[in-house]
Amino acid sequence: MRILVTGIAMFALCVSAHAHRLNLFATASNGVISGKAYFSDGKPARGVAVQAYDPGGAALGETTTDEEGRFEYALPVTGGAVTLKSISGDGHAAEFTVTPADPAGSAAAADTPAASGPSPGGASAGTIERAVDEAVARQIRPLREQLDAFEHEVRFRDAIGGVGYIVGAVGLVALLKARRGHGRP
């Protein structure tokens, strides 16, 4: 019986610790990194510092989350990914890497003759491509944010599964003890 109680107590502590895990999500668009810091139970991480680092690990700057756990940071021209790190006041930490499609604003597309030439409507193909990319990014962002939150959510079935593992382990120990008690090896 002690084993069962100990197992349930350990499981409860693990679920509790996981429920308060800090998560970080961000996207880059229009020269700005914007994102959200939140705990696994869905509550926003308010007033939490978010530091930005370049691909080499050098600090680029810092911002702080608002009351909804949201933050914005001007996208630096690093030539690559920007790693965001956040540590809440209670010691929980999270890290997220943002890979902007092109922080300089589609310079590669503007170098090609087809992209830099005017289109029939008067706008360059590079301008149209950037506008479409930004519009799609705005539409997809809420979906990506929901998916990220869903992946980090502790669900009831996870808790029941954990209890099942504990009950199974206790049952196996009880079976082995019972076999030893009846003289079976």
What's the confidence (pLDDT) of residue 100? 72
The string of pLDDT tens digits covering residues 93-130 is 889 888 876 433 332 222 333 334 444 556 677 777 76
| Domain boundary assignment for the chain | 22-151
CATH topology of domain 22-151: Immunoglobulin-like (2.60.40)
pLDDT > 90? residue 11: no
Stated pTM of the model: 0.52
Amino acid identity of residue 164, one-letter, is: G
